[in-house]
A and B are shown apart, each in its own frame.
Chain A
Amino acid sequence: MRIVVQEDPFDLGAEANAFAEGSAENGAIVTFTGVVRDLAGGDLDVMEIEHYPGMTERALTKIAQEAQARWSLGDVLVIHRHGRLSPGDRIMMVATAAPHRKDAFEAAEYLMDYLKSRAPFWKKEITRSGAEWVAAKDEDEDALTRW
């Protein structure tokens, strides 16, 4: 398992390649990448991501451990950025490796659902008309009930 919280960009191709190297036991590798979306209709200048150093790493580790306990996984990778990002920038990625694809897909979805509302990150959108904290969505909380 590898959990990374960093300000710098990450190289999606290099990370995916490194993650896929090695074990021939894992027949399935799923990767998901989150990208800064411009929800302000072309107005978004910067997305600022604040986090809680210490708790962030703990929360992500706990979520990844729970995924490993629930599914048969060979490996888990979570990378999440913080700081100032621009529209189109990659915010985060998760990757799961498993003997079978169902486990890899489900675990990746589980990681994403929990990461959205149980890892201490907060997004702020800065547009020409001002700055606004992104509100948590009920549907993100509801998404946890299916697990």
Chain B
Amino acid sequence: MDVLYFAWVRERIGIPKERVETSAATVSDLVAELSAREDRYAAAFADISALRVALDQELSDFDAPLSGVREVAFFPPMTGG
């Protein structure tokens, strides 16, 4: 699946987008998997209460299943308007 990062999550991880091969069942499982990779991921995901997640461009939550999902995006709370 494609994993996208925005705003300070993107800056902390250092890339806007990557292709991830994973068997993670839920968003939380994917976060744990990414955090175990490298410090920059662990730093970005240190406090998931400060993060939001979208699955296939719809806001979702960290308990949501990933089966069939093609695009996951992590970002801080939005500040539009």
Contact = CB atoms under 8 A, between A and B. Distances in A.
Interface of A: 34, 50, 52, 54-55, 58-59, 80, 91-92, 112, 115-124, 133-136, 141
B81 A122 contact: no
A116 B73 CA distance: 19
B24 interface: no
Interface of B: 4, 6-8, 54, 57-59, 73, 75-81
B54 A52 contact: yes
B14 to A, nearest CB: 15
A57 to B, nearest CB: 9
Contact of A112 (B58, B79, B81): B81
A117 B76 CA distance: 10
Contacts, number: 69
Contacts of B58: 55, 58
Contacts of B54: 52, 55, 120
Contact of A136 (B59, B73, B78): B78
Nearest to A94: B81
A83 B71 CA distance: 23
Contacts of B73: 52, 55, 120
B12 to A, nearest CB: 11
Given A58-B57, A118-B59, A50 B80 contact: no
A140 to B, nearest CB: 8
Nearest to A133: B8
A50 B7 contact: yes
A54 B7 CA distance: 16
Given A50-B7, A55-B73, A116-B81, 7 more contacts: A52-B6, A52-B73, A55-B58, A118-B78, A121-B78, A122-B75, A141-B77
